[in-house]
Structure 1
Amino acid sequence: MARKRSQQRFELVHPHCAGIDIGSREHWVAVDRKHEKPVRSFHTFTDDLVNLADWLAALKIEVVAMEATGVYWIPLFELLDSRGFKVYLVNSRSTRQISGRKSDVLDCQWIWQLMSHGLLRGAFRPADAICSVRALVRQRATKVRDQAQALNRLQKALSQMNIQLANVISDISGVTGMRILRAIINGERDPQTLAQLMDRRIKADKETIARSLHGNWRLEHLHALEQEIECYDFLEQQIQACDKAISRALAQLPEREEAPQPSRKVLRSPHRSAADQTELHQAVWRVMGVDLTAIPTIGVDTALVIASEIGPDLSRFPTGQHFCSWLGLAPPTRISGGRQLAGSSPKVLNRAAQALKQAASNARNDKSFIGASHRARLTRMDTSCAIKATAHQIARLIYAMLTKGQPYVEQGIEAFEERSKDRQLRALLRKARKLGMDLVKVA
């Protein structure tokens, strides 16, 4: 008689779990087959979501896994999280079905099966109060981007009128530019009169500005100019409203440490006054417990983005390597046959990483340890790789500051040069030993 082969099975990690396939009109939920009718569908109305949560609670479900599908998961996630369920928001790449087996029922059952055996990892999501700040900061970033587009359309209208003001002054959205543009909208056409509106800080003379204001005042271009200025002003009001809402949301967060007065001047912002910028700096400092702007190239806006995206609690990440990997800044680990495989790492869309890369790109002319490190990287690698490596360095500093509560200490360019000299000396010693020679230090 043939001996039966022992079948190795996956370990059951979450016996009381559910898998949800998210949709725009209905959600499909799968639980263990021992329950009656283990697969059910619920519409996306609020009362249906409440019924879904009540059904899971009646079955004593503890863990719920769902795909991050658009923004449709947010209402259900927030409801289940408030009801005490441990909700895993998983990447759709981790739940890909077998080819030819695709339906809502099979998808939710497949998510449940993977989750029950502990084969899915939940995405990082900060605390609910931090998520409120994050939504406001993202909304502000959208308005700033829309305002930049309105400014581009405004510039297009000026170019069609052959008004060369942008070639004379550095910023047409500044004091001088907006004075002249508003005067044009109000009916002023004399270039000499318009040139009198220039600010004393403008380097160009009045004659040059007057020459740049000779153009054709066609009706359609003036109409486009007027509408874009109105759009620009409206978006400026919305940005200020977002700033007020962000300040109120930050004031409701628990304070980790009382922020002292800054010892150095805070970088100015085009949309905030100096007082508002300092107040925002203090609020972010109190919420995070450390001063992120002490790191060179990180301004208040960058610190606000980082605070809203990750929050002060990084206990979800065991080490700094895990944190950098979540940001998408860690080097790829594609190894086969003991060798590193060629190719780029998977693309990760992370707003905190984008802010860190922007800060890293500003380190080229910074007179600090990070700036010297970035310039050294630029000499031996591509610009994009150097920016990513410098952002990785800044991310490790942020992780150490938030987990250990230690302030940033600037080492200076001298420390980098001394470390670089020691590294070069060790390389020369290794090369000399390889050639059978010794180096002798000359006094």
Structure 2
Amino acid sequence: MRHRENLIQSCGREVQHMQQALQLMNVHLHHAVSDLVGATGLRILDAILAGEREASKLVELRDSQCSKSTIEELAKALKGDWRQEHLFVLKQALETYRHLLKQVAECDAQVERALAEVVIPVGAQPESPAPKNPAAKEQASPKKKRFHHRKTGTSLKRDLSEELKRICGVDLTQIIGLNVLSVLIILSEIGLDLSRWRNAKAFCSWLGLCPGNKISGGKVLNSRTAHVVNRVAILLRTLGPSVGKTDTWLGIFHRRMRARLGPAGANTATARKLACLIYHLLKYKEEYIDVDHLILLEKIHSHRIGRLRKQAEELGFEVVAKQVAA
């Protein structure tokens, strides 16, 4: 998976080379379409390299679902000076990009073969029983996560969720924010044996997602998280902003932490929540339970009312709920 990530980064560099070549020719295709290497972008690039220069002809290759720009705006963006040296760079960058995509596809095929060869011992049980959490289970039920993952040219072409469920014993893609590729990266880094970490706290500490404990003479010198270079931690932190946009309990948590700690602190706090979920599901083989976000909102509302009443009492006032007419 690390090699695949390197290939993806190389693809990104080639896309930047294509954007630079277009920019130097005063062609703003990469500003007129949402994805330069999407369906519309690739068709127009191929036509340009084939010798087409008329903007009116190139606009005909626009997909009907393209919404970032109008036909007139796209035609205006496709007028440039078409210098040969930049067309040459554009051609080589596009060829390299497509070659890298083939290597990514070969890498994905190798990953599929490796997953198919994994043998899981039958009847394997966790060494210690799962900690009880009846309060959460009484108010929750298994639900499909409400999270949309955008498909790109470097995305996995085949759904490996069932294969990963067979290997892990639990469907990690049900966790908010995780998709098949994320789970593959996590498993390639930490494996399936979580006995190396005595609990979820130790696992989060290894990832560098816990506050520091630099204390001297009873005084906290620094509580910043340790600088740990860990691919799993980087991945989980990257998921933070996307999770924060969802209408889920974890999205609510991220937004509250963002208001209190700022964006970076919220990403780390959300990453720690995700790490705890991953550790628990992998170790105890329990299905993910998505708590209804309305329950959390009701709890937050009750807490705010209680805090307001306490402050009113300290000031000699009384808070009375407003009666709504039926």
Using the size of structure 2 for normalisation, the TM-score is: 0.84
Q: Distance in 2 between matches of 1:326 and 1:396?
A: 12
**Are the aligned partners of 2:18 and 2:89 in contact in 1 as well (CA < 8 Å)?**
yes
**Are the aligned partners of 2:28 and 2:78 in contact in 1 as well (CA < 8 Å)?**
yes
User: 1:243 is matched with which residue?
Assistant: 108
Residue number among 335, 344, 347 corresponding to 2:227 in the alignment: 347
Flag the 1:217–1:256 CA change in 2: closer, same or farther, 3 A. farther
Q: Report the CA distance between 1:413 and its aligned residue.
A: 1.7
Q: Report the CA distance between 1:268 and its aligned residue.
A: 5.3
Residue number among 153, 156, 159 corresponding to 2:17 in the alignment: 153
Residue number among 309, 312, 331 corresponding to 2:211 in the alignment: 331
Q: Report the CA distance between 1:322 and its aligned residue.
A: 0.3
User: 1:46 is matched with which residue?
Assistant: none
Q: Distance in 1 between matches of 2:87 and 2:32?
A: 20
Q: Secondary structure at the match of 1:379?
A: helix
Q: Which moved more, 1:164-173 or 1:414-423?
A: 414-423
**Are the aligned partners of 2:312 and 2:319 in contact in 1 as well (CA < 8 Å)?**
no
Cα distance per residue 1:267-303 (max 9 Å; x no partner)? 45324678x442x222222211111111111122211
Larger proportion of strand: 1
1:305 maps to a residue whose letter is I
Flag the 1:171–1:256 CA change in 2: closer, same or farther, 3 A. farther
Residue number among 84, 88, 93 corresponding to 1:223 in the alignment: 88
1:377 maps to a residue whose letter is M
User: 1:297 is matched with which residue?
Assistant: 177
Q: Secondary structure at the match of 2:34?
A: coil
User: 2:134 is matched with which residue?
Assistant: none
User: 2:79 is matched with which residue?
Assistant: 214
After superposition, residues 360-379 of structure 1 pair within 5 angstroms as: 360-379=240-259
Flag the 1:249–1:389 CA change in 2: closer, same or farther, 3 A. same
**Are the aligned partners of 1:168 and 1:209 in contact in 2 as well (CA < 8 Å)?**
yes
Flag the 1:307–1:271 CA change in 2: closer, same or farther, 3 A. farther
Bigger Cα Rg: 1
**Are the aligned partners of 1:302 and 1:355 in contact in 2 as well (CA < 8 Å)?**
yes
**Are the aligned partners of 2:15 and 2:93 in contact in 1 as well (CA < 8 Å)?**
yes
1:419 maps to a residue whose letter is K
| Stretches (4+) displaced over 6 A | 262-266, 436-441
After superposition, residues 10-409 of structure 1 pair within 5 angstroms as: 137-203=1-67, 204-255=69-120, 267=149, 269-271=151-153, 276-278=157-159, 280-342=160-222, 344-409=224-289
**Are the aligned partners of 2:176 and 2:250 in contact in 1 as well (CA < 8 Å)?**
yes
Flag the 1:267–1:345 CA change in 2: closer, same or farther, 3 A. closer
1:141 maps to a residue whose letter is E
2:47 maps to a residue whose letter is A
Q: Secondary structure at the match of 2:209?
A: coil
2:40 maps to a residue whose letter is T
Larger proportion of helix: 2
Gaps of 5+ in 2: 123-142
**Are the aligned partners of 2:309 and 2:319 in contact in 1 as well (CA < 8 Å)?**
no
Flag the 1:430–1:401 CA change in 2: closer, same or farther, 3 A. farther
**Are the aligned partners of 1:292 and 1:298 in contact in 2 as well (CA < 8 Å)?**
yes
Gaps of 5+ in 1: 1-136
Q: Which moved more, 1:190-199 or 1:247-256?
A: 247-256
Q: Distance in 2 between matches of 1:436 and 1:199?
A: 64
Cα distance per residue 1:101-136 (max 9 Å; x no partner)? xxxxxxxxxxxxxxxxxxxxxxxxxxxxxxxxxxxx
Q: Distance in 2 between matches of 1:146 and 1:220?
A: 22
Q: Secondary structure at the match of 2:93?
A: helix
**Are the aligned partners of 1:163 and 1:215 in contact in 2 as well (CA < 8 Å)?**
yes
Q: Report the CA distance between 1:430 and its aligned residue.
A: 6.0
Provide the aligned C-alpha RMSD in A. 2.5
User: 2:299 is matched with which residue?
Assistant: 419
Aligned residues: 300
Structure possessing the higher relative contact order (Cα contacts under 8 Å, 6 or more residues apart):
2
